[in-house]
Amino acid sequence: MKDLDIRRDRNAGRITLTRPQALNALTHEMANAVHAALDEWRDDPAVKLVILDAEGDRAFCAGGDIAAVYHGGREGDHGVGRRFFSDEYQMNAAIADYPKPIVAFMQGFVMGGGVGLGGHASHRVVGDTTQVAMPESGIGLIPDVGGTWLLARAPGRIGEYLGLTGARMGAGDAIHARFADLYLPEAEWDAVKDRLADTGDMAALQGQTPPPAPLATRDLSAYDAETVAEITAALKDAGDEDSLKPIGRNSPQSMEATLVMVRAARNDARVQDSLSREYRFTHRATESSDFLEGVRAQIIDKDRKPKWSAPADPDAVAAMLADLGPQELTWEN
């Protein structure tokens, strides 16, 4: 398909995102095609490993292409979003559970849906341009695509910090926060990919000393608090303007839900548990959250002035995360 280059290359299956003009944003069709390729190669003995990368210098994948979800929701067709999120999450889980190595080379922006693609790979490579983030609270959503699973496994309160603020991580921070595994200068990536495809041997992948990780020494004690209001009060006491600014801009409902979900995900046994919880929110998102207004303000009209209205009290958050009954996201195993 025009947005992906899926091919066999010697001992490797290759998946390359090929829409750099759109920062390689992931469409529904792309998500399904990635999943289909992985299924095709799963039991193929000629495919020793999978290489996942993207064209262009600016982004590995800057997120999901949610324009169709927005327009469907505005027209009252909530099935557009539900089908997209369901299929995308199934693909995320397939990457996380894949029986062969998947090596993701993540340059530039790696956000939202891009984290869902690369963040669950078995070997996650970052470089000097890498900027990883889960900024969904800024569009009235929650860190999905298994984002709450990854945030929950970051050290200390880094997960709460990243989920509420949408802060970006460079290579060193991404490795420290367990969103990535290896640092390599990007000038060396093509040669490493060639060796991997030629040998089919993961020994061809060797990381170098990563850049510093400022998050390792940042005081995040404010994020010990129980609610967003309490966290905000603690941040004000600490004079942490860098955190207060995005928290002041983001959807209150999204942030409260994110806090609940990241903490719940710490008890999840596998990524599918987190994805199912995320789907409860996103299944309802075009109908009952701040999502449509957030997308309007940030992506459609680009006035950057969302008028948040979704309730953020505990009962409202619990309703967004309530079991979906027969519409729950389910798994084959």
Q: Give the residue numbers annotated as catalytic, written as ranges.
A: 64, 113, 136, 144
Encode burial over 148-175: b for 16+ CB neighbours within 10 A, e otherwise: bbbbbbbeebbbbbbbbbbbbbbbbbbb
SS3 283: helix
The answer to whether the CB of 309 falls within 8 A of the CB of 293 is yes
Backbone angles phi, psi at 52, to 5 degrees: -115, 120
C-alpha to C-alpha distance for 280 and 282, rounded to whole angstroms? 6
C-alpha to C-alpha distance for 241 and 300, rounded to whole angstroms? 28
The answer to whether the CB of 32 falls within 8 A of the CB of 4 is no
C-alpha to C-alpha distance for 305 and 220, rounded to whole angstroms? 28
Q: At what angle do helices 228-238 and 158-165 cross, to 10 degrees?
A: 100
Backbone angles phi, psi at 10, to 5 degrees: 55, -115
Q: What is the DSSP string of 175-230?
A: HHTTS--EE--GGGHHHHHHHHHHH--GGG---BPPPP-GGGG---GGGGSSSHHH
C-alpha to C-alpha distance for 295 and 304, rounded to whole angstroms? 10
The answer to whether the CB of 306 falls within 8 A of the CB of 265 is no
Alpha carbon separation from 239 to 175, 215, 234 (Å, rounded)? 27, 17, 9
Query: What residues does 104 pair with on adjacent strands?
Result: 52, 124
